[in-house]
Amino acid sequence: MKKCVLVWLSCFFIFSVSAQGIKDLEKATIDVAEKVGKAVVSISTVVKEKVGEWKFESPFEDEFFRRFFEEFFGEFPEREYKRVGLGSGVIIDKDGYILTNEHVVSGATQIKVKLSDGREFNAKLKGVDKRTDLAVIKIDAHNLPVAELGDSDNLKIGQWVLAIGNPFGFAIENPEPTVTVGVISALHRYLPRLGRRERAYDDLIQTDAAINPGNSGGPLVDLNSKVIGINVAIITTSGGYEGIGFAIPINRARRILGRLIRGEKILYGWLGISIQNLNEDLRSYFGIKEKKGVIVVKVFKNSPAYKAGIKEGDLILEFNHRKIKDSRQLVREVTATTPGDMITLTILRSGRKKEIRVKVGKRPEDIEKLSYYDEGEGYEFRGLRVENITPYLKRKYRIKENEGVVVVDIESDSPAEKSGIEIGDVVLKIEGEKVKDKEDFERITSQIKGNCLVKTNRGYFVLKER
């Protein structure tokens, strides 16, 4: 009998503790919803789009078919349509500054904001950043409730969170935001399929708190009522919630918030290289035991990396003496660097470690239009890269000579750079032997050991051994 009573009492104690825990959690979520919900707004936008008036449902509707009609009947007349968009935002300053997603307000000719108390305002766009998909808008209001920003660097998987926003335009009828509860399912998610080329959906917070259309731009909040992320996207096969949502870490927003409020353009660092992670085979081939480093696949012409002498096949092991684990880490390090700053890359080339100083550039907006430098375009000797004389190079460097090779690139801190030879020079002789073309240059230099004398169209120079 005693045994049964003890078991029953134990079960009762566990149930009591569990019930108290549930009550505490319930109270915490209610408190968060009430506190932060006041600072969440509904955003509606109007975007004007021009669309061809004639629309064909035929299977032959393609570019050729369109051109055929335009040739005989003229261009398709265009009509202007208005598209309405819905999203959410969170008030970050009592004087009307609101943080949201860039894609919520992108291209909008009209932005309207409805507060949780039902008041409506026209909003002005203050600043946008397509890469992080963040934007700041402002309304003419004061003494507004503000959501406190938290710290997204110390999040834990399994941590309870709330997603607050205005899905499906419910705020049109009822201005109070919708609250859903879940946990942090994963951290540092990378979603290249969700982003356009200029957007970088990297390092995202994954949650199972329900996020639906219209939630974009709303806050993801912890149980301390602090914003830890901005809801941005879901993965779905149905168009609705399926348990996988994503938020931009708030610390990413913190870094650029001041500039967005001031309407400044957000600049990101850029090296101008295409990189690849090292798999086991590559690490074994290069003799690298640790899981670190990336390999340079391509180098953009005239990019910071190109000018510093980074080459295809170089392994980048460290950035400012911090070990590089993978390509995503290197991209984060570079983009977080202010354009114009000098950084040090530790590389491995031909089995030897080397440090190269690079002046970080500004990431171009039309990066897809840039071309890569083909390592096979010229022959390299002691940092000197040459090409055969072509009509294009003759015009570019105002070359009078018809024989010789043109210096098209000089590696930074190489014997060639130290010798005084310049890009555009024409190499005529090496060690007294005439150079007619690249084949001569390669044949002669392959046999040279020690210092050598080079004659160019500007005079003589000594190329020292590395």
Q: Give the H/E segment covering residue 444.
A: helix 438-445
**Residue 295 φ then ψ, to 5°:** -110, 140
Q: What is the pLDDT of residue 197?
A: 52
Choose, from 42, 116, 129, 133, the residue flagged as catalytic.
Answer: 133
Q: What is the pLDDT of residue 233?
A: 78
Q: Give the H/E segment covering residue 35.
A: helix 2-37
| Cα 278 from Cα 394, distance rounded (Å) | 41
Choose, from 42, 88, 103, 116, the residue flagged as catalytic.
Answer: 103
What DSSP state is assigned to residue 143?
Answer: S
Q: What is the pLDDT of residue 396?
A: 81
Query: Quick check: do 39-266 and 378-463 share a fold?
Result: no
Residues 441 and 406 sit within 8 Å (Cβ to Cβ):
no
Q: What is the pLDDT of residue 91?
A: 98
Q: Which fold has domain 269-373?
A: Pdz3 Domain (2.30.42)
Q: What is the pLDDT of residue 438?
A: 87
Q: Which two tokens stand for residue 349?
A: 């080339």
Q: What is the pLDDT of residue 238?
A: 63
Question: Tens of pLDDT along the chain (466 residues)?
Answer: 444 444 444 555 455 557 777 888 889 899 999 999 999 999 999 987 765 554 444 343 444 444 444 545 555 556 677 788 899 999 999 999 999 999 999 889 999 999 999 999 999 999 999 989 999 999 999 999 999 999 999 999 999 999 999 988 776 777 889 999 999 999 988 876 554 556 778 889 999 999 888 889 999 999 999 999 999 977 766 666 678 899 999 999 999 999 999 999 999 999 999 888 888 888 888 888 888 899 998 888 889 999 999 988 899 999 999 999 999 899 989 998 999 999 999 999 888 999 999 999 998 876 655 555 554 455 678 889 898 888 778 878 889 999 999 998 888 888 999 999 999 999 999 999 999 998 899 899 988 889 999 999 998 899 998 7
- Beta partners for 248? 230
Residue 424's alpha-carbon distances to 42, 188, 413, in angstroms, are 60, 47, 18
Q: What is the pLDDT of residue 6?
A: 46
| Cα 130 from Cα 440, distance rounded (Å) | 51
Residues 97 and 55 sit within 8 Å (Cβ to Cβ):
no
| Cα 229 from Cα 342, distance rounded (Å) | 31
* Closest to 36 (Cα-Cα) out of 250, 353, 290, 256: 250
| Cα 98 from Cα 24, distance rounded (Å) | 31
Known catalytic residue at 44:
no
Known catalytic residue at 133:
yes
Q: Give the H/E segment covering residue 21.
A: helix 2-37
Cβ neighbours, 10 Å, residue 394: 15
Residues 421 and 453 sit within 8 Å (Cβ to Cβ):
no
Choose, from 116, 216, 225, 303, the residue flagged as catalytic.
Answer: 216
Q: What is the pLDDT of residue 341?
A: 96
DSSP 263-301: TPPP--EE--EEEEE--HHHHHHHT--SS--EEEEEEET
**Architecture of the CATH domain 378-463:** Roll (2.30)
Percent helix / strand / coil, the chain, rounded to 5: 25, 35, 40
Domain ranges of the chain: 39-266, 269-373, 378-463
**Architecture of the CATH domain 39-266:** Beta Barrel (2.40)
Known catalytic residue at 103:
yes
Residues 98 and 90 sit within 8 Å (Cβ to Cβ):
yes
For the whole prediction, is pTM greater than 0.75?
Answer: no
